[in-house]
Structure 1
Amino acid sequence: MRVPRSLYLAMFSFTASIGVIFGLIASLQDDLGFANSALGLIAAASFFASFLGQLFLAPLADRGKTKTLLLFSIILAVFGTLWFALASSVWELTMARALTGLGFGAFAPAARAIVSNIDASRAGERLGRLAAIETSGFVTGPVIGAALNEIWGLDAPFIFLSAFLICMLPGLIKINISAENEIPQDSRLSAAKVIVKRKEAAGAILLGAAMFFPAGMYEAIWARFMEDLGASTLFVGISLTMYGIPFAFTASTAGKFIDRIGPWRAAIFGISVIIPMTFIYGFLTSPWLLMGLAMVEAIGQGVGAPACQAAMVKATREHERATGQGMVGAASTLGGGIAALIAAPLYAGPGPEETFIIVACVVAVLGAAAIRLGRDQTPIVSVARP
């Protein structure tokens, strides 16, 4: 069975609608006149709402509600994105961001469970392809936003992407999900507890937090940092796209490599690239150099992200996959939300050098703990069930 193309396209559309704010947040700040501290609040709202979605809504996909969850998630994203176009205050931007985050928190684990359940022995390959599309949307969104903003103003990108999301609904309705397994009633509430007791699963959860921690910082201060270094709004969007190119290429091709050597060896490589790049960013004074090093970091993220998800696949059974992916995603977005909250005040106070150093240290600590837990553990499943 092949992964439905409509699922890939919906993932791209969803993440583009989220990523559009990356390049426009500094312009929105200038337009509405809110403080730097509000940047962290707006960014964190998405992460924390996504955390709730992945923890409490994602398990519905393991209970025969996968298609309903996908459709509901898209509808939430439509309302959240439209609200951004209409918002005139920080609290409205925060609530709009929370709606899109909640939708993504429900959508992403369900989508990952679908692609990994098709063939668990090729989970790294398929999850890598999905991660490539996911990130392609994130980094294409800012370019779309910057271009439409230049032509029609700040509202245009959000209206356009809302309409694009609506167009995804017919394709998702037609998806034939063959493995809608109803899990036993007594295991519904205990599935997460059972999963987290497995060392490899606990390691995958910590690894997700480590990998995504820098993303929270980027959402809060990347555009502000770039513009403070002299970059235009359009250049900020281009920098995010240039980050996405090596990520998408690496994630889409690294899957077979991950399946061959194992997710934990691949994760070590990813973390080893991410930490030094993050450490260096704060000392840079050229937006061009910042963009160049971000493209190097993207290679580490392109290997590490699908490795993290593949590690959870190996630590879970088929009827636990959406719950497991939701737990990884929840840890990722919780880490991102915390990073977003602390990054903006750190950037406004001590400065960019200290901000990036602290984030790099957090990634190192979480990554080391994850690898210690997950390495050399016997996987729950290594091949797909017939």
Structure 2
Amino acid sequence: MLFVTVYATQFLLTASLGVIFAYLADLQDRYDLTNLELGTIAAVGFIAGLVSQLLLSPLVDRGHHRAVVWVSVLSAVAGAFGFVLADSTWSLVTSRALAGVSFGLFGLVARKALIGHDISGSGSKVGGLLSFGVAGFVSGPFIGAALSGVSFEAPFLVTGTVMALLGPFAAILISNSPIAGTAVDYSDLLILLRRPRVQAAILVHVGVWGLVGMFDATVDRYLTDLGLSSTEFAIGLLILGIPFMLLPPHAGALAERLGGGRVAVPALVLFAPAVVLYGWVGGLWTFIAIGVAEAITESYSEMGAQVLVLEATGVEQAAMGTGVLEAIGLAMAAVAAFAGPSLYGQFGPRWLFGVWGVVCLVLSGIVMLRLKAVKIPPKGITLSH
């Protein structure tokens, strides 16, 4: 019951984010937003997730997961209904921030509850959470398209209502789940950051989440400028999401078996040219072909990075380790999302995605150097040093 409810809630949370993501161009046109205002709305969700994860992840490892999961659920409901009531840039920013808090914190407590007291099998469990999250995200545009004929606010009203019904049930189950609590404090974050595996995982996340932020903030505008309709965009995004839905459990299990670094490094090397090719999209089918290649490499990069962190933390500090990893990824996404619309408008997609692809290739080289500082064991999740 825990797995089903947690995965369903993660699906719903990210579906509501997917609605927002697909509505960015509509928000800009509806409220006459500048590129700077649009970038702010896109970025603030990542920033809110970053801050909440850094502040609260040690509390989850100390056993205070009950309070954190309720904050997540209530923020999700408030964020969804905030978009129903929003009438200004700042109310949109606030609603997006609440959605970001919810997304960041729910993943934190969900991973801790799913892992429980046994670190073995964590790769596939965490991969399953990612699969359902992506499935929800790519379903968001379809929810928006199906309900937009009723009104602009209808998709947010529906997702907020369903979350108000399902969220408390998930919060109760997570609150009653056994977790591995340990005495940690904020100084332990600095200790984690000095571990080569964690540093390598962070660099992988910087590359992946830099693209996520850039993609989030610009792709709706980009494809609209190419002449694609909202329906075509939704179809393309759904097809792109298929690898994310299917591969993360397998990628997580593979990383757990071989070692996170042995999966993350080659995946990030292959991820870089896929990012570059995003700048050369000419229509729906090239968008789909490039996007599927990028989604496959991103799935393995992401799960390799998460297993690298679990190798370093073990079960006791899993929330803090994955929280730091995602917080830094969210920080990178926030910067990319904030700058993305302006850079897209000034330089165009080829420079925007091309430069980031080169950055990812450089990061893969640095990751390899950091992993030389440790001996990676044959099985991934066995050590905590």
Larger mean CA deviation between 154-163 and 353-362 belongs to: 353-362
User: Residue 132 of structure 1 corresponds to which residue in structure 2?
Assistant: 131
User: Residue 292 of structure 2 corresponds to which residue in structure 1?
Assistant: 295
Aligned partners of 2:312, 2:351: CA distance in 1, in Å?
36
Q: Give the CA deviation at 1:383.
A: 4.2
SS at match of 2:108: helix
Identity %: 31
User: Residue 165 of structure 2 corresponds to which residue in structure 1?
Assistant: 167
Larger mean CA deviation between 64-73 and 224-233 belongs to: 64-73
Write out aligned runs for 1:91-240 (5 A): 91-149=90-148, 151-168=149-166, 169-175=168-174, 176-181=176-181, 183-184=182-183, 187-240=184-237
SS at match of 1:289: helix
Q: 1:248 aligns with which of 241, 245, 252?
A: 245
User: Residue 270 of structure 1 corresponds to which residue in structure 2?
Assistant: 267
SS at match of 1:119: coil
User: Residue 38 of structure 1 corresponds to which residue in structure 2?
Assistant: 37
Is the aligned partner of 1:363 residue 2:360? yes
Contact 1:52 1:105 (8 Å CA) reproduced:
no
Aligned partners of 2:100, 2:56: CA distance in 1, in Å?
12
> Which residue type is aligned with residue 102 of structure 1?
V
Is the aligned partner of 1:325 residue 2:322? yes
Aligned partners of 2:267, 2:11: CA distance in 1, in Å?
23
Q: Give the CA deviation at 1:376.
A: 6.2
User: Residue 21 of structure 2 corresponds to which residue in structure 1?
Assistant: 22
SS at match of 2:120: helix
TM-score normalised by the chain length of structure 1: 0.93
What 5-or-longer segments of structure 2 have no aligned partner? none
Aligned partners of 1:148, 1:343: CA distance in 2, in Å?
28
RMSD between aligned alpha carbons?
2.0
Q: Give the CA deviation at 1:264.
A: 1.0
Q: CA, structure 1 residues 3+373, in 2 after alignment: closer, same or farther (shift >3 Å)?
A: farther
Contact 2:76 2:102 (8 Å CA) reproduced:
yes
Is the aligned partner of 1:341 residue 2:338? yes
TM-score normalised by the chain length of structure 2: 0.93
> Which residue type is aligned with residue 290 of structure 1?
F
User: Residue 257 of structure 2 corresponds to which residue in structure 1?
Assistant: 260
Q: Give the CA deviation at 1:378.
A: 4.4
Q: Give the CA deviation at 1:63.
A: 1.5
Aligned partners of 1:223, 1:382: CA distance in 2, in Å?
38
Q: Give the CA deviation at 1:3.
A: 5.3
> Which residue type is aligned with residue 99 of structure 2?
T
Aligned partners of 2:267, 2:376: CA distance in 1, in Å?
21
Q: Deviation digits for residues 246-269 of structure 1, max 9, x if unmatched?
A: 111111322222222211111123
Aligned partners of 2:251, 2:21: CA distance in 1, in Å?
26
Q: CA, structure 1 residues 269+116, in 2 after alignment: closer, same or farther (shift >3 Å)?
A: farther
Q: Give the CA deviation at 1:374.
A: 3.1
User: Residue 316 of structure 1 corresponds to which residue in structure 2?
Assistant: 313
SS at match of 2:280: coil
Q: Give the CA deviation at 1:209.
A: 1.6
Larger mean CA deviation between 233-242 and 306-315 belongs to: 233-242
> Which residue type is aligned with residue 84 of structure 1?
F
SS at match of 1:152: coil
Contact 2:113 2:178 (8 Å CA) reproduced:
no
> Which residue type is aligned with residue 231 of structure 2?
L
Q: Give the CA deviation at 1:113.
A: 2.4
Q: Deviation digits for residues 125-160 of structure 1, max 9, x if unmatched?
A: 2111111111111111122112211x2121011011
Q: CA, structure 1 residues 121+379, in 2 after alignment: closer, same or farther (shift >3 Å)?
A: farther
SS at match of 2:281: coil
> Which residue type is aligned with residue 246 of structure 2?
F
Contact 2:314 2:382 (8 Å CA) reproduced:
no
SS at match of 1:285: coil
Q: Give the CA deviation at 1:70.
A: 1.3
How many residue pairs get matched?
Answer: 380
> Which residue type is aligned with residue 178 of structure 1?
P
Contact 1:76 1:99 (8 Å CA) reproduced:
yes
Is the aligned partner of 1:87 residue 2:89? no
SS at match of 1:248: helix
